Amino acid sequence: MAHNTQVSTVSDTELLIRRSFDAPRKLVFACLKEPEFVRQWLLGPEGWTMPVCEIDFRVGGKYRYVWANADGRRMGMGGVYREIVAPERIVTTELFDEDWTGGETTNTSTLTESRGVTTLAIRVAYATKQARDGALATGMTEGMEAGFKRLESLLATMAAAQPGDPQ
């Protein structure tokens, strides 16, 4: 099964990001909400770490991520959990410290599972078409794919630690 991040424009202001993983939905969901797992995979290109990963995983709760590069660059962002339907849907707001996305976005992550393969679909709603196009121009897809490859490895390790667990 090919594992590639697919990004499409679904409206003038929205992107749809899709990626499938050979893992049950409950494991993928855990990797989206638990700081110990998020720190391991949500890193983008090589050379970045996540010194700050704060998650208050409840409706109305906040999250905060700060990434750091060996050359001293830092990038931070955060938001609020608007909706949580475990293990199938998470809706958050998102705003980067250096607002390169043209304002706050709303991200809707949906997880569907079929025959042990989970598809993560993230719909990102930007304030304007220019903001959406600007985000696309940053090369974000490559960074996301690097993180998703790490997530794939983490999920394989987690699944191996749970032999005989069908879900």
CA distance 75 to 96: 8
- Say which range, 19-23, 89-93, 160-164, has the weakest mean pLDDT: 160-164
Task: Give the pLDDT confidence of 95-153 residue by residue, as tens digits.
Answer: 999 887 778 999 999 999 999 999 999 999 999 999 999 888 887 888 899 999 999 99
Task: Give the pLDDT confidence of 4-30 residue by residue, as tens digits.
Answer: 899 999 999 999 999 999 999 999 999
The CA R_g of the chain, rounded to the nearest whole Å, is: 16
Residue 165 above 70 pLDDT? no
Predicted pLDDT of residue 89: 98
Question: CB–CB of 55/36 below 8 Å?
Answer: no
What domains lie within the chain, and their CATH numbers? Answer: 6-46+84-158 (3.30.530.20)
Question: What predicted TM-score, i.e. pTM, was given to this entire model?
Answer: 0.91
Predicted pLDDT of residue 143: 86
DSSP structural state of residue 73: -
CA distance 42 to 31: 9
Predicted pLDDT of residue 159: 87
CA distance 74 to 157: 29
Predicted pLDDT of residue 164: 59
**Angle CA(71)–CA(72)–CA(77) in degrees, nearest 5?**
125
Of residues 1 and 68, more confidence is placed in 68
In degrees and rounded to multiples of 5, residue 22 shows phi and psi of: -80, 70
